[in-house]
Every structure is written in structure tokens, then in C-alpha cells.
Structure 1
Amino acid sequence: MFNLSSENLVSFIAGGAAGIAVDISLFPLDTLKTRLQSRQGFWRSGGFRGIYAGLGPAAVGSAPNAAVFFCTYDLIKRIACPYVDERWKPVVHMFAASCGEVSACVVRVPVEIVKQRCQVAASTSVIQVIRGIAENGGIRGFYQGYFSTLLREIPFSLIQFPLWEALKSFWISHRKSRGFHDSLSASQVAVCGAIAGGVSAALTTPMDVAKTRIMLNTNKNGTNKVSLVLKEVYINQGIRGLFAGVLPRVLWISIGGAIFFGVNERTKSFLLPSTVLPD
């Protein structure tokens, strides 16, 4: 049984709070990114109209999605870090982040499919979108793009989380060398998160384009293979197509990273002020 003093429960609550804060506050940027990456193009997908289409599914799914990720991530760190030499801790961070993504995508993928189809068809209701997915693909339809999402999220996390941890460690070492205490404020953690998120977002944009195209594909004869989708985009649009939506994606994840990690750390410090998770 969990209680409020349980570190696992705190990770779950903190991750959920962080997810809601990001997904709701930055939703318009996500919509613009999705429309830029769609096959029909930005203007035919709605342009700047109805930029809050799909907010409902995103709001409902953001808390459990982020909570599952951070609960898994922090649990693995907590178990493994005390037994691992300092130089191998980035490997633990990468493994923990990968496990977190595999777990979180069970929640994330159905939410993403419904949300993104609403974003490119703003006049269609959420119920209509859900009904259409169920009629065309059943339960499997809600997991269309699961593996392409993992192929985006795992490389993203392999870059983001070790970089985030490294930036925090560097900043703490710098503060120690100048005689300050050896902990960072929530805002300082948020800055590290913004930098790590922005770099990771830019580098993984091609996988995000492929994931978006696959999730938006309603043609049963269309390809859902990542390699073929990337090849098609490159042939038709070149490098520019592979990095479609990179600016709103980087802005969304950089600002979102600052909010996400800041809210996550602040919530943890509020619920468990004496607890410091292993680095």
C-alpha cells in the first residue's frame, strides 16, 4: 500500500502535475506543429484556426501519461543508482528513461492519435474521431503508431535525460566551487530541463514527423513503416520536410521542459521536502 510518504507515490503525483501544466499551457504550439507535419499541409489542416481542437483528450491523458513515466524513471534510478559507479550513472539514466517511455506509451499513444486527428480536423468532434478509429481498426487502431512513437521517444529520452542530469551536476559543481550550497532551486532545474528538451527536440524531429504521419493515416492501404514514411517525406519534400514543425516543436518542448521539470521538482520538494532522489 502507498501512503503520502511513499517516494513512488510522490513521483506519480509530481509527474502528473507536471504533465498537466505543460500540455494545457502549450497546447497551441503542439497543434501548429502537428499541422505543419501533416500530409495535407498546414493550411489545409486548419492553419491558425481551432488551435485548441483536441485539448480534451490531451488534458485527460496528460496526468497519467507523465505520472507513469516519472514513477518508472524515478523508481529505476532509486533502485540502481546506489549500486552503480558515478561514471556509469548516465547509462542508468538512459535505461530508466527508456523503460519510462515504454510504460508511458501505453497511455500516450491512444491519447496522441485522438488528439492529433482532432487537431487536423477541427470541425470533427472527439466522439466522432474515437468512433472512427474504433470502426476502422478496433483496439489496435488506438495503438497505430505505437512503435514509431517509441522510435521517437526513446532516442529523445536517451538524449534529454542524461543531458538534464549532466547539466544539473555541472551547475551544482559550479555552485560548490563558488561556496554555495549543493542543491538547485526549482527554477534552476527548469532551465536545465529547457536546454535538454530543446536540443533533444531538434535532433529527433524527423522521427516526430514520421510518427505524426503514421498516426494521421486513415488509409488502410497506406504505409505505417517508419523507414518508408521517412523515405516518402524526403523524396517529396527533402530535408526541409523531415524537419517540418521543428521551430514550434523546439519552442514547445523547451518551454515545456522548463515547466515540466520545474513543476515536477517543486511538487516533490513540497510533498517530500527532506527527500533527495539519487542523481
Structure 2
Amino acid sequence: MSNTHTDVLLAGAFAAFTVDLLVYPLDTLKTRFQSPDYKKIYYDASKNAVNRKLLFRGLYQGVGSVILITIPSSGAFFTTYEAVKSGLSKANPTYGGSPLIPQPFIHSAASATAELVSCFILTPAEVLKQNAQMIRRPAESSSKTSTAFQPSVTIQALKQFKHPSQLWRGYTALAARNLPFTAMQFPMFEHLKESIKQYRQKSGTYTGSLMETALMTAVSAGSAGSLAAVITTPVDVVKTRIMLSATGEASEAEAKKEIARARKEGHSIEKLANRKGVTRKSGLTVAKEVLAESGVKGLFRGGTLRAAWTALGSGLYLGVYDSGRVWLGGQHKHDDLSM
């Protein structure tokens, strides 16, 4: 089976578009659970219970920006992944019939390289999306189904950013979450998929059909993804908080100007220093804050939800991608034979 770069791009883009629409509401809920303002916004102290009506309102807020950016981001990921995996596999020397570098390491290296490229494209949309997910909309608008896809919330979130560079705030945190995630998921995914294939071949039930390929890929990717998601939840919590604070953060130079202005005008430097977002916080600082607030449990907030939507999302994502790639490769083979 032969796939062109266009095949990989199309399969990756279609997979991303399909999955984003299906699992986006779960991602919105996860963002709200992990937000530092979760109890303040979504918890009703008078009833000692979560305000479910408010929590579940506007679950598609910010989806437009993600769909627009995820398509090229996913295409870039899979193009890079397939190219690096193929290149490293070909360059991998063999001794005694066995490759010098085990395949899991090649899969990890390929996925890590692809993730760095993908994260750079995805970060602005991810930052914008998570801030849009936290905007509270009027109760009356939630009754109109069409408002779920209105751009007003995304534009409202975009207006909160003073500088374009703020949209890339969180690239390091996103990469820090996605690199170990993909480094764990893809070797497990490739191993599970190959094991299931070999088992079905030995039992004589393997057909090689498009549906069978999709199901094997979905089960393998979903299982590997959910496990990797739970392990990387603490980094995801830190990433969410960093991205949600991006609109109020100032650069070091801006912070110095604020301090100089405060001194000139005779304002309290202590009050300025305590103001939210005067300076950027590192991931370690944010993690310490979460630990101080909620303990270890706080670092795993939303972990179960994340594992569930990752199992569903990864299964659908890679299932659609792999079956799409196989179908496109089959179309090329059919065209070649008919010529």
C-alpha cells in the first residue's frame, strides 16, 4: 500500500474534523473542572452542589477556532510522523536480523518530532479555545441550538488578548503534556494494533477489510490513549491554568514598566505585585499552587473525564485516520491497475 503526502494530510485532517465535533463538549467540561475558578463559577455554595445548568451551558464555545487550526495541525502531525518513522526505520541498521534500535523508540521519536511541529500550529487555537470555554453566556441564548457555533464568544475571548504573542503562551506547557503523552501512546498503540492483527491472522479470522482496520486501530488507540491520559493529567492541569491566565499576563518588560509607573505615581508596589497576571508563572509555580490549594487530588482533577474523552477521541481519531489512509492507498492502487 502506497500513500502520498496528500493522502496523509487528507486522512489526518478529516480525522481531526470528525473527532473535534464529537468530543468537544467533553473537552469543555474538562477545562471547566480544571479551572482555578471552578468552585467560584460553577459551584452553588447555598445548595452545596454543582450548578449543572451553568456547567453544561455553551459546551461548543470556541469550537470554530479549533476546527480551523486543528485541520492543518493534524495534517502536519501525521505528515511529520509518517516521514520521520519511515526515515528512521530505513536508516536503522540491523545486526543478526534484528534492528539495532527497537521499533517503540522509533515510534516515540517520530511522534515527539511530529508533536513539536503540531503544537506550534495548535497553541494559539488551544489558548483561545480554553478562554472561550470559560466565558459565561446569558441563560436565554443557551436555548437556541444555533448559538453553539456563533463566533461571538470566540471574538469576545480574542479581545481579551492585548498582544498576539499571548496566544502562544502555553506552548511549552502544551508540548510538555503532549510529548510524554504521544511518546507513551504511539508505541503502545502500534504494539497493540500489531498484536491484534497477528492474533486474528493466526486464528484465521483476519480479512484486511476497511472496517476491520478501523476497529483494530480504534481499540488499540483508545486503550493506549486513555492510559497515557491518566498519567499525564497533572501536566494537563498545569497547561490549562497557564492558558487560562494568558489574557492577563504581562511580559517581564511590561511588568517593569508597571512597577516604574507605580513608583512614580506613589502607588503600593506590594499591591501591584499581587495583582493577577503582572508576571508570568512557570509551570512548576503553577503546580505548587495547585498542590497548596487542593493537594495531589487537584493535580488529577478531570483525569477520569480526560481518560474517557481521550479513549473515545483517540479511538475515533486514529481509527478514521488509519482507515482513511488505507482507503486512499487502495484507490491509488486501483487507479494504477486500471491504467
TM-score, scaled relative to structure 1: 0.90
* Aligned equivalent of 1:263, options 317, 320, 323: 320
| TM-aligned CA deviation for residue 9 of structure 1 | 1.5
Residues of 1 paired with 2:75 and 2:39: CA distance?
32
Deviations 1:137-189 (A, max 9, x none): x2210100110111000000111000101101211222233234485521111
- 1:141 aligned residue: 166
The more displaced of 84-93 and 175-184 is: 175-184
Matched with 1:187 is 215
CA change 1:72–1:174 in 2 (3 A) is same
Q: Among residues 24, 28, 41, which one is paired with 1:27 in the alignment?
A: 24
Q: Is the 8 A contact 2:230 2:306 kept in 1?
A: yes
- State how far apart, in whole Å, the 1-side matches of 2:100 and 2:205 are: 22
What letter matches 2:192 in structure 1?
A: L
Counterpart amino acid of residue 163 in structure 1: M
Indicate which of 207, 228, 243 corresponds to 2:300: 243
Distance 1:179 1:56 in 2: 45
CA distance in 2, matches of 1:147, 1:34: 18
In the alignment, structure 1 residue 129 sits paired with structure 2 residue 129? no
What residue identity is the alignment partner of 1:68? A
Instruction: Identify the residue that residue 121 of structure 2 maps to in structure 1.
Output: 107
* 1:168 maps to 2:207: no
Amino acid at match of 2:108: M
- Distance between the aligned counterparts of 1:62 and 1:147, measured in 2? 18
Gaps of 5+ in 1: none
2: distance between equivalents of 1:275 and 1:176?
Answer: 25
Secondary structure at the residue paired with 2:196? Answer: helix
Match of 1:212 in 2: 240
Give, in angstroms, the shift of residue 17 of structure 1.
0.8
Shift of 1:7: 2.0
Q: Shift in Å at residue 128 of structure 1? A: 2.4
Does residue 41 in structure 1 map to residue 41 in structure 2?
A: no
RMSD: 2.1
Q: CA deviation at 1:125?
A: 2.2
Partner of 1:120: 134
Q: State the number of aligned residues.
A: 269
Q: Give me the whole-angstrom Cα distance separating, in 2, the residues matched to 1:177 and 1:6.
A: 27
Q: Which residue of 2 aligns with 1:67?
A: 75
Given residue 290 of structure 2, which amino acid in structure 1 is its aligned partner? V
Rounded to whole Å, the distance in 1 between the matches of 2:116 and 2:15 is 19
- State the partner residue of 2:256: none
- Higher mean alpha-carbon deviation, 12-21 vs 27-36, is at 12-21
The match for 1:13 is 10
Task: Return 5+ residue gaps in structure 2 as ranges.
Answer: 43-53, 93-98, 138-151, 249-275, 334-339
Q: Is the 8 A contact 2:3 2:325 kept in 1?
A: no
**Is the CA contact (8 Å cut-off) linking 2:130 and 2:244 kept in structure 1?**
yes
Mark the CA change 1:162 to 1:194 in structure 2 (over 3 Å): closer, same or farther: same
Which whole-Å CA distance do the structure 1 matches of 2:101 and 2:120 have between them?
32
> 1: CA distance between counterparts of 2:66 and 2:116?
19
8 Å Cα contact 1:27/1:52 also seen in 2: yes
What amino acid sits opposite 2:221 in the alignment?
A: G
Other structure's SS at 1:44 match: helix
Matches of 1:224 and 1:167, distance apart in 2: 39
Counterpart of 2:227 in structure 1 is 199
- The two structures have a TM-score, normalised by structure 2, of 0.75
Q: How far apart are 1:59 and its partner, in Å? A: 1.8
**Conserved? CA contact 2:30–2:306, under 8 Å:** yes
CA contact (8 A) 1:156 1:201 kept: yes
Kindly indicate whether the alpha-carbon contact (under 8 Å) linking 1:54 and 1:119 is maintained by their aligned counterparts in 2. Answer: yes
Kept in 1, the 8 Å contact 2:3–2:328? The answer is no
Q: Which has the higher mean CA deviation after the structures are superposed, 145-154 or 86-95?
A: 86-95
